[in-house]
Amino acid sequence: MDYAGIDARNLRFPVNRSLTEAERKEQLDPTRSTGVAPRVGLSLVKFNSTYIELVDRWYPVKGFNVWLSVMGALAFAPTSLYLLINLIILGEPFREDERWILWCFWIVIVPLSIFIIAGIVWLFRSECFRWTHYPMRVDRRSRQIHFFRQDGTVATGAWDRLFFFIGESTTPPIGRTNDLRVHFLSDDGETVIETFSLGYEYMGERQDLLGLWEYIRQYMHGTEGDVARLCELVPLCMPVHDRKEGFVFGVARTFANFIHWPWVHLLASLPFGFIAIGRWLAMATSRVPHWPTEIEAASTVGDQDRCRRDWRDNPPLGFMEKTWPLICTAVGVLTAIWILYAIEQALALRG
């Protein structure tokens, strides 16, 4: 999955450098319309006349790394335990002329095993025991954007001084992907100090990304009437701003990008069912982010705000949004159990 920008070597956004020509070419002018209809998709956490709050780029794919790490551990653990028991606990099962096998184990297998274990642990920890999400608050009143960093601190930038552009990343096996990206620049206007992803359309097209940008741009530069109109375009608010995402909504979000192709849900039920379970585990073990008191105090929302929206205002999820993904998750889990049972029976017959 696309984890560009996450806090890991070779995935972090490069900083302490000059702007590139590609970034200049893809720069977005907040004062000019792109001509694309605004859309917010499943990016919004909260909406009101003071600010909007958005999820981070890794929120849509949360659970994938947990699933991948568990699969890696299950594939790696049996062989490792077998070697450990036979070579260390039960003693060396080699003759004198076969001791080179033991040396190969210590010189090659052990370092390789440590590397694999470290990779599995990193994958698991990239989503578990961290934060449920990394929100971004776009404040219309103060003309600022607040970014919740991966270490729990907050970066704040003035809307009119930030460098907005469409960023490009290459992450195997996904290939090239794009997101809305923001640079914090030094006083010279050329040096990149810090970079954040402002918006991401998982499995979306460039037009969808421009629609998300237009939504944010119009919110910041539009009239009160524009804000009321944008409020009506909110399909759902992600239920994460003051709580942890529940299992049912996590399943719905995992399958959401294939909502128009229910047969894909069924075909992909085996991996996606376990990704949904991995997503729930990641959410359950992570902390809910909270903004500093000074940011909350500066962005208070009046009780009479008619454009106030959060997860409590979401319409009920229907059969295709909730029930069908839950059925597919159950099918995926039962399929995995059946496969394991069939393998066990085949091994028993051979034995």
| Residue 96 pLDDT exceeds 90 | no
Looking at the predicted structure, is the pLDDT value of residue 348 above 90? no
What is the average per-residue pLDDT within 338-349? 85
Query: Taking the domains of the chain in order of start, what are their residue ranges?
Result: 67-125
What is the rounded distance in angstroms from the CA atom of residue 242 to the CA atom of residue 123?
26
- Per-residue pLDDT, averaged over 292-312, amounts to 93
Which of 272, 255, 265 is CA-nearest to residue 333?
272
Residue 173: cis peptide before it, omega within 30 degrees of 0: yes
Across the chain, what does the average pLDDT equal? Answer: 90
pLDDT of 89 strictly over 90: no
Q: Is a pLDDT exceeding 90 seen at residue 103?
A: no
Q: What is the pLDDT of residue 56?
A: 95
Query: Which of 33-47, 73-87, 156-170 has the weakest average pLDDT?
Result: 73-87
Query: Would you state the pLDDT for residue 30?
Result: 95
Q: In 10 A of CB 333, how many CB atoms? A: 16
Mean pLDDT of 13-40: 95
Q: Please check whether residue 279 is in contact with residue 254, taking contact to mean a CB–CB distance below 8 angstroms.
A: yes
In the prediction, which pLDDT does 152 show? 94
Question: In this predicted structure, what is the pLDDT of residue 201?
Answer: 87
Residue 142 three-state SS: coil
With bands split at pLDDT 50, 70 and 90, how would you rate the model's confidence at 99?
Answer: low
The pLDDT-based confidence of 92 (bands split at 50, 70, 90) is low
253, 245 contact by CB (below 8 A): yes
The token duo for 146 is 């607040």
CA–CA dist 212, 201 (Å, integer): 8
The closest of 133, 165, 127 to 147, measured between CA atoms, is: 133
pLDDT of 175-226, one tens digit each?
A: 788 899 999 999 999 999 999 999 998 877 889 999 999 999 999 999 999 9
| Partners of residue 179 on adjacent β-strands | 167
pLDDT tens column, 114-164 = 888 899 999 999 999 999 999 999 999 999 999 999 999 999 999 999 999
CB-CB contact of 226 with 216 (8 Å):
no
pLDDT band at 100 (very low <50, low <70, confident <90, very high): low
- Residue 335 pLDDT > 80: yes
Between residues 120 and 260, the one the model is more confident about: 120
Which of 209, 194, 206 is CA-nearest to residue 57? 209
Read off the pLDDT of residues 225-244 as tens digits, 9 standing for 90 and up: 999 999 999 999 999 999 99
